[in-house]
Amino acid sequence: MHLSTSVSSRLHRALAACAASCLLWLGATAAAHAAPATVTVENQTKVTRCAEEDNVSLLLRGGVRRFVVEALQPAYIERIAQDTTAPDFSGCNFDGGDHPTDPKHRFEPRTVTLHEDADWRIVGMTLPVFWRPQQVPVEVDGRRDRGFHMIQVFRRIDGQMKEALVMYPADGYWRIKPLPLARFNDGVYGSSMLLGPVRQEGRPVVNIRDIRIHTQPDVRFELSFAGGGAARIRLAEVSRERTALEVRFSRPVRGLQPFSVLRSMYVATDNADMSEVRWLGGATKATPEVQALPDFQRAVGVSDVRFGRSEPSRHNTSAPDIRYRAFER
């Protein structure tokens, strides 16, 4: 039986409307069933005397699909008269070059502006030497390139572009910081983090297959992981108070494999990029628990955790605290 053109057209429109309604219903149902979750945090920090190497590893595990990670001004930011940002190699066995234990893969250095508008600038940088050979494809608003070791994101404030985020495609590291307070020329990074299925390959890494960056209606990264799965990471806020990322995985990282690792530096309480762990143990607990980093071992049922400092450090003094929150399954 053949339908008339008008009947067929009406049928197609009805089916399209039904499909759209079904998709909206499915989205609403998924949102309604998104449940708050808790995670486990484990400390695998090693002792060091070098203020320029990441000896801190704090692993986050739990089958979460969504969470927020943000860089916050340290609690003592108003007490800083003079920010200290110079490197300190006094306790190190290297002096600012490549770490002596790292492999050395050589590249043709270059710097490329991948996007710029009134508010944002995105820059790709290839370094002359990097510890991994991976050259990850990167696409920015349809423009394709590859081989960058750093992708920098700048936000305009008071007429100047200030860097708020840098990510490393070849090993999956991210660093974020708030925009600097007006009395500082710029802020300084401290801790870094991995977002995705973390593996040990000489040090913790996340292997990324490709990256797509969109700048409209907001800046967001879409990652495909080499072992399967994907993530969407949106810059939800970039301000003087915080830089916040909304992270959504296409599927949770299961079992004992971390979905994130915070990497940082700790030599002493007054010489550290983070020196304490502050966390809430579930929705029913309103008072946070606090432990100095050397005393912290493991916390289970964590709904909110902040890795930071209560007292000023003589190294990277204005480096931000890093907070994870809003975990959902």
pLDDT tens sequence across 143-183: 999 999 999 999 999 999 999 999 999 999 999 999 998 77
Question: 70 has which bridge partners?
Answer: 244, 323
Distance of CA 263 to the CA centre of its chain: 11
Write the pLDDT tens digit of every residue in 209-220.
999 999 999 999
User: Who's near 231: CB < 8 A, 6+ residues apart?
Assistant: 195, 196, 221, 222, 223, 225, 247, 248, 249, 250
User: Is 196 within the bounds of a domain?
Assistant: yes
Q: Is the pLDDT of residue 21 over 60?
A: no
Percent of the chain with pLDDT over 70: 87
| Residue 29: inside a domain | no
Looking at residue 33, its pLDDT comes to 55
pLDDT value of residue 247: 98
Categorize the per-residue pLDDT at 94 as very low, low, confident or very high, splitting at 50, 70 and 90.
Answer: confident
Query: Is 276 within a domain?
Result: yes
- How many domains does the chain contain in total? 1
The pLDDT-based confidence of 83 (bands split at 50, 70, 90) is confident
Tens-place pLDDT, residues 293-305: 999 999 999 999 9
Burial class (CB in 10 A: 0-12, 13-18, 19+), 40: middle
Query: Which is more confidently placed, 182 or 29?
Result: 182
Closest of 204, 229, 226 to residue 131, by C-alpha:
204
Rounded to the nearest integer, the mean pLDDT of the chain is 88
Task: Give the C-alpha separation, 228 to 30, whole Å.
Answer: 22
Q: What percent of the chain has pLDDT over 90?
A: 71
pLDDT bracket for residue 136 (50, 70, 90):
very high
Percentages of the chain per state (helix, strand, coil), in multiples of 5: 10, 45, 45
Q: Which domain holds residue 312?
A: 35-328
> Which range, 20-24, 89-93, 325-329, is most confident?
325-329
Residue 176 lies in a domain: yes
When pLDDT is averaged across residues 311-321 and rounded to a whole number, the result is: 91
Identity of the amino acid at 275: S
pLDDT value at 22 more than 50: no
Provide the pLDDT confidence category of residue 26 given band limits of 50, 70 and 90: very low
Residue 11 lies in a domain: no
The reported pLDDT for the residue numbered 96 is 61
Q: Examine residue 224 and state whether it is found in any structural domain, yes or no.
A: yes
47 lies in some domain: yes
In the prediction, which pLDDT does 160 show?
A: 93
Supply the pLDDT for residue 90.
83
Residue 16 lies inside a defined structural domain of this protein: no
Prediction pTM value: 0.87
Residue with the larger pLDDT of the pair 52 and 25: 52
Q: How many CA atoms does the CB half-sphere of 321 hold within 13 Å? A: 22
List residues bridging with 263 in a β-sheet.
Answer: 57, 192
Using pLDDT thresholds of 50, 70 and 90, give the confidence band for residue 306. Answer: very high
Half-sphere exposure of 264 (CA within 13 A, CB side): 31
